[in-house]
Structure 1
Amino acid sequence: MSDYGHPLTFGSFLTPGNADPARVVALAALSEQVGLDLVTFQDHPYQPAFLDTWTLLSFVAARTSTVRLSANVTNLPLRPPAVLARSVASLDLLSGGRVELGLGAGAFWDAIEAMGGRRLTPAQGVRALEEAIEIIRQTWDADARGGVRVDGEFHRVIGAKRGPAPAHDVGIWLGAYKPRMLALTGRRADGWLPSLAYLQPGDLAKGNAIIDDAAREAGRSPADIRRLLNINGRFATVGRGPLHGPAEQWAEELADLALTDGISTFILGSDDPDDLRRFAAEVAPAVRELVDGERSSSSAVPADSAAGSADSGAAAGPRPAEPAGPQPATGRPASVGRGAFSVVPTPDEGVRRSDIQVWDESARPTGPARDPDRTYTAHDLASSQHLIDVHDGLRAELAQIYDLIEQVAAGTIDAGTARSHINTMTMRQNKWTLGTYCESYCRVVTTHHTIEDRSLFPHLRRGDARLAPVIDRLEQEHHLIHDVLERVDRALVAFVSVPDGMAELRAAVDLLSDTLLSHLSYEERELVEPIARIGVR
């Protein structure tokens, strides 16, 4: 059992596809917005469907301010180490110390050779990688005397000038699986970065043992090497397998990996904005809480496993500031059990920021009165609570929009970047005009897979005809919310050409706040009890 004591960090592993470059950048920016610590991209220079990873990293660095960046992992056979060292150091200086270096010995050798690279055997690849690490470290050691001198079997750099030094101690993380690569990780690297999908049960423990032994033989502490892990999974309302289930299941499984196998950085491979949001907002905090609790209850951490704060391979950057504007409220009761209806809808505080009214709130119909003698199971109540949880995510997105507008006003991002952020949000992708919930709502509140059954409103309408006026009204309001979102988008487009574009933009967002918060509260007030009573199956 190994816990190396590193602080936990969380990141995204994004596909650098070139079919929609703006979306790739928006997902990277979203990763920062939701509070992830790290953004990574695979590096396959021979893949024409991908953007060049180092060009993309540079572009993303200019569009973000706190998140750390890395290739996952850099294709060394097609990137000469002396040039790569200067590229990394330059981007680290330009980004304020936010770049790490994932490295691999190479794969897909036919494609590498077709691009002009040299085909190597596995053993040769490891030796070439060790030579490259030496070249990179010498290049970064700008204060040392003399030039870079590595007269290797595969890389030869004789007398090249050193520098520039990076802005911080860049971590070198190796994508390693076999014993020779694992031993090199222990001798020379700052981190081990495998992918869980490529590992068999027990491989993490075996890999740790090889790395730890090699580190000690090299006079290093095993805690000098951060353990990172690329993961994939699916969120679902019930558990269906490893990393396939609710966020609570993910948190327990990742916490076990942290405490048992020493993993301290989890990098989610997904291009789904909802997955990234849930990973950052639900999984990461729960994992930290579980691990912190176990660590604080442990009697001691082994001396050679205590990382302290001097972790050169850490991926943790500054946490984003609290967003401006309205903050998400939570209606979750302290406990949910059998008995009376205990789910508390989030109330509408009645604050209105806009002079425009898109609907008459006094004309809203109400549903049937609640039966005071009815009791509800924990499952019934959990179904209702799901609606509030999803709404709280939308409330949090509204706060993010206010934060984005403040960044536009301050000149830290442009209107185009703000649009990219907003277009990845759940509320923007909601099929409001259809009067139905978006895909994320459907995943939360129902397990049916047909189009008809994934629409919550028709299901409730069938379950209780008395709800028809309420549902009709909610569907009408969905149309209007769509129009208000379009108004925000138009204001962002006009911002660059309208003399007082910021005033128009703020007014559009204020109107969105008024309509969205009012609508969500009304929907919860009228539907949380029927959802518990009628169910979602």
Structure 2
Amino acid sequence: MTDYRHDLQFGSFLTPDRRDPAQTVARAVLSEQLGLDLVTFQDHPYQPGFLDTWTLMSYVAARTSTVRLSPNVANVPLRPPAVLARSAASLDLLTNGRIELAIGAGAFWDAIVSMGASRLSPGESVVALEEAIEVIRQIWDEDARGGVRVEGVHHRVLGAKRGPAPSHDISLWVGALKPRMLRMIGRSADGWLPSLLYLQPGDLTRGNAVIDEAAQGAGRDPGQVRRLLNVAGTFSSTARAQLDGPPEHWAAELAELALTEGISTFILASDDERQLQVFANEVAPAVREYVGAARAGASAPDPSARAASGTAEPNRRSAPLTRTPLAVRATPAPTPRGTETVLDESARPGGPAADPDRRFTPHEQATAQHLVDIHDHLRGELEQLQDLVEQVGRGLVDATAARSHIHEMTLRQNKWVLGGYCESYCRVVTTHHTLEDQGIFPHLRRRDPRLGPVVDQLQFEHERIHELLDEVDRALVASVSVNDGMAELRRVVDLLSDTLLSHFAYEEKVLIEPIARFGLG
């Protein structure tokens, strides 16, 4: 239970959506106008639906004058650290000291490898990121003698010239959760940046302890490491859950995190302009008041009691968040290609009935839309698979090349859990781990136990899909050595297609509304 007594900061965490670049920039400008301290952007260079984060930051820097900017977090496997260091220092000089640098080791390796990087194990990722931090710091240290020299396992920079130095001491924050990475943060980084959505109870306390011990072991003051947190939630009239309630409820919870867990920078993951306004105009000032009073030893109203009692004075400038009926719709399955079936669709549980009067914020709508977007990507890959099989049949592609291509597809690589390729299609929050079966399903089951049969059915279907993918692989091998092997290959691929499209339609039908209500975990 620690307050590291850092100054409080508040920021936004925006999606670099390519569909409306002007709107993305406008949200960043709004963040500055609202008085937020920081604007951050997801960095997924392998995601064609996103603008390049560094290019976007540079453009936003030219459109703003006071707010600080950072990736959240920069994908170091796809951004060589020596180049990243010079990019950050250059932009810091151009903005008169408004750049910070949050970095990550990379988690979505199928997508990262598809862009040309080498795959690393979790242990190798820790080593590589610590080497990258050393490269960055040496590049910035232009007063040191000699060239940069880092003879690492994954990063070898031998003799590069130093500089430029940034306009101010850029902070190096690391997005991570696992103990080895947390120990590295304690030894080498300036801040820890996890996301609240992906933390279990006690994770902040345990993470702080690991960082503090590592910092002390490296001869550092643990207070040198700022604790930041990406947060997301819902503004509503009554307190219903963590970060689901009125602004005073949010303020009470964030103040508690500041005073007991040492969090000093809160970054709201939302593209909803009304949420940003409420966060900046109501939540942030209240958190500052609570924490300032507690640190000064003044007798201030207890924030948790104030929120629970509902006696907090409302901010009259705040209008309620726009809520509309759920607009996200499931995509129906097309007419099956074949006659065989592996799923008993009539036995599928329907799930609890939706509340017809419930209305949803834009953020909640976007969370539900995320599931459909992922499935649309996988539907597209099904079409690629069908085309590939036809090329094999015509002799345009041999079986070995086809197998290699299929194994690179998301269809073959994902673990057949909710959301599939969440890592490269997550437009709502930045994720650091595949959390579907381990996180989202248990989350939905806890929030509404009536979803238990639905979750069980989906998990069963995930296993069957994995078995069908193995059948496709075996049929592809046999297609070149067995009489009429192509007929069997086409049959199995049609069966996979029918099964997948049926599964996608069912999953969307039963989970779109619960995901909109409860989020992703």
Q: Distance in 1 between matches of 2:118 and 2:58?
A: 27
Q: Give the Cα–Cα distance (whole angstroms) in 2 for the partners of residues 213 and 450 of structure 1.
A: 47
Summarize the alignment of residues 16-55 of structure 1 with structure 2, pairs less than 5 Å apart: 16-55=16-55
SS in 2 for 1:208: helix
* Distance in 1 separating the partners of 2:324 and 2:114: 46
Counterpart contact for 1:40–1:69, Cα < 8 Å:
yes
Alignment pair present for 1:159 and 2:159: yes
User: Superposed, which structure 2 residues align to 1:66-215 within 5 Å?
Assistant: 66-215=66-215
TM-score, length of structure 2 as denominator length: 0.59
Check whether the contact 2:274–2:321 (CA below 8 A) recurs between aligned residues. no
In structure 2, what is the Cα distance between the partners aligned to 1:210 and 1:72?
Answer: 22
Q: Distance in 1 between matches of 2:107 and 2:260?
A: 30
What amino acid sits opposite 1:204 in the alignment?
L
CA distance in 2, matches of 1:67, 1:279: 16
State the Cα distance separating 1:107 from its structure 2 match.
1.0
Instruction: Report the Cα distance in structure 2 between the residues aligned to 1:257 and 1:450, rounded to whole angstroms.
Output: 30
Counterpart residue number, 2:322: 439
Aligned residue runs from structure 1 range 29-428, under 5 A: 29-297=29-297, 389=315, 392-393=317-318
Q: Give 4+ residue runs of structure 1 displaced > 3 Å after superposition.
A: 447-451
Per-residue Cα deviation, 1:351-396 (whole angstroms, up to 9, x for no partner): xxxxxxxxxxxxxxxxxxxxxxxxxxx99x99xx97xx55x35xxx
Output the CA distance in 1 between the equivalents of 2:184 and 2:321: 48
Quick one: which amino acid aligns to residue 132 of structure 1?
A: A
Identity %: 65
Distance in 1 (CA, whole Å) between partners of 2:19 and 2:280 is: 26
Distance of aligned partners of 1:298 and 1:204 in 2 relative to their CA distance in 1, 3 Å threshold? farther
Shift of 1:438: 8.2
Q: Give the 5 Å matches for 1:498-513.
A: none
Relative distance call for 1:448 and 1:236 in structure 2 (3 A) is: farther
Contact 1:148 1:158 in 2 (8 A): yes
8 Å contact 2:234–2:243 — kept in the other structure? yes
Q: Any idea what the Cα deviations from partners look like across 1:381-425, whole Å, max 9, x if unmatched?
A: 99xx97xx55x35xxxxxxxxxxxxxxxxxxxxxxxxxxxxxxxx
Whole-angstrom distance in 1 between the partners of 2:137 and 2:321: 49
1:247–1:282 Cα contact (<8 Å) kept: yes
Change (3 A) 1:441 1:75: closer
What is the CA–CA distance in structure 2 between the aligned matches of 1:115 and 1:73, rounded to whole Å? 18
CA distance in 2, matches of 1:287, 1:448: 35
Instruction: Determine the C-alpha separation between the residues in 1 that align with 2:293 and 2:358.
Output: 42
* C-alpha distance in 1 between matches for 2:215 and 2:41: 28
1:76, CA displacement in angstroms? 0.4
Deviation at 1:439, TM superposition (A): 2.5
Alignment: residue pair count? 321
SS at match of 2:263: coil
What is aligned with 1:475?
none
- Aligned counterpart, 2:493: none
Alignment check: 8 A CA contact 1:44 1:50 kept: yes
Matched residues in 1 for 2:90 and 2:284: separation? 31
Give the Cα separation in 1 of the matches to 2:243 and 2:358: 24
Distance 1:2 1:151 in 2: 37
Amino acid at match of 1:168: H
1:235–1:438 distance in 2 versus 1, CA, 3 Å: closer
Amino acid at match of 2:230: N
Structure 1 residue 441, shift from structure 2 partner: 12
Please give the secondary structure, in 2, of the residue aligned with 1:66. Answer: coil
CA distances 1:6-33 after superposition (whole Å, capped 9, x unpaired):
0100000000010000000000000000
Q: In the alignment, is the contact (CA less than 8 A) between 1:274 and 1:440 conserved in 2?
A: no
SS of residue in 2 equivalent to 1:439: coil
In 1, the alpha carbon distance for the partners of 2:35 and 2:322 equals 23
Query: Following TM superposition, by how much is the alpha carbon of 1:244 offset from its aligned partner in structure 2, in angstroms?
Result: 0.2
Q: Which has the larger radius of gyration?
A: 1
Residue in structure 2 matched with residue 524 of structure 1 by the alignment: none
CA contact (8 A) 2:146 2:159 kept: yes
1:14 pairs with 2:14: yes
| Contact 2:230–2:268, Cα closer than 8 Å, also in 1 | yes
Q: CA RMSD in A?
A: 2.4
Question: Structure 1: which amino acid aligns with 2:322?
Answer: E
Other-structure match for 2:508: none
In the TM superposition, what is the alpha-carbon distance from 1:165 to its structure 2 partner?
0.2
Answer yes or no: is the 8 Å Cα contact 1:232–1:243 preserved in 2: yes
Whole-angstrom distance in 1 between the partners of 2:287 and 2:152: 44
TM-score (norm 1): 0.57
